[in-house]
Structure 1
Amino acid sequence: MRPEPAKASSAEAGYLGGQVLIAMPSMQDPRFAKSVICLCAHSSEGAMGIVLNRPLEGMSFDELLAQLGLKPVPPQRRIRLCQGGPVDGGRGFVLHTLDWSNDQSLRVTEDLGLTASVDILSAIAGGGGPRQGILALGYAGWGPGQLEDEIQANAWLSVPPDEGLLFGEDGDRKWFQAMAKLKVDPLLLSGAAGHA
């Protein structure tokens, strides 16, 4: 799914755009076990998000800039790189605070944007750009109704985002930090869905 401009009414209609998804302890898919995902777009057409807690191994921000032919290298500023999900792994997305944007930026929330153009990388390398950001290669995507079905089957929980969850460095602990926002012990959660 290609990110589309967020509709202001999506939250009112029961969609979770802008929320953080937390994989339940019972998540069987190894690509998403203990994952924390910022849901960037969610509508009747599907959903798109960025996995926040899978650091990108084997490439630094400096190496990426050199590969793309962007200057300056070394940069005046750097951002963290992560594996954003299993879809379109060669494509980069910067999840960032909305104190910087361009005409290609998707507004995720009042304070959060997603940009897939190299302009943002040049701005960051030059010492400017958004106050906070992470660069994700790839994304997580769901077709129409798929995420809703997974939530109904008890695969995901959701919490409001905060900058620590979105941009914090501690990838290994981020799942526990997200669970702590719910004030729930993950060891006490059941993977069985309940129905009244």
Structure 2
Amino acid sequence: MTISLHRSATVLFQGDSITEVGRLVEPDSPLGNGYARKAADRVRSARPDSGITFVNRGVGGDRIADLRARWREDALELRPDVVSVLIGVNDTWRRYCSGSVTSARAFEDDYRAILTQVRDELDAQLILIEPFLVPVRDEQWAWREDLDPRIQTVRRLSQEFGAALLAADGLLNQAARAAGGAEHIAGDGVHPTPLGHTLLAEAWAALAGL
């Protein structure tokens, strides 16, 4: 499934630090320096006269509950035509680094709630990006027990809400094999390298038919 970027559309990127990538600390980079900016650059290059506006509201450290808490201010009130969401890895990471658990049910309930608001109040097109993990340490393989159900949730919700799906987990793990190691794609297993961000941006642009 692809999306249609009509003339003068507003595209919103939402998520955690993987989406933020410096936008909160670099005033001259409101789209950050990751896949969101790279995807926007690709669209602008392909359609320079389209008047499409790109907005990044990613916040580092966010879990799904944090995203839901700020959803009205940082999503609905912006009235975007396209909403792109990447969230979930922090819900897994916190379990293993601090013992703070987000159940699979709570994750799905919060995620469905924000998508329902988009459908009911905006009728915007949706792009859902799977949370992903590219293990660089042996112990990170155990994280898959917690993350994989979240990936499956995003896949189910993409179907339920008619969203375009960016299957990032498989994409980046396959790329790690091709690149000769996970560290070439995500230095800590979670945060993409420049190459990892480029691959995400290419896949995002492909969903827009570019």
With normalisation by structure 2, the TM-score equals: 0.27
Per residue, is there more helix in 1 or in 2?
Answer: 2
- TM-score, normalising length from structure 1? 0.28
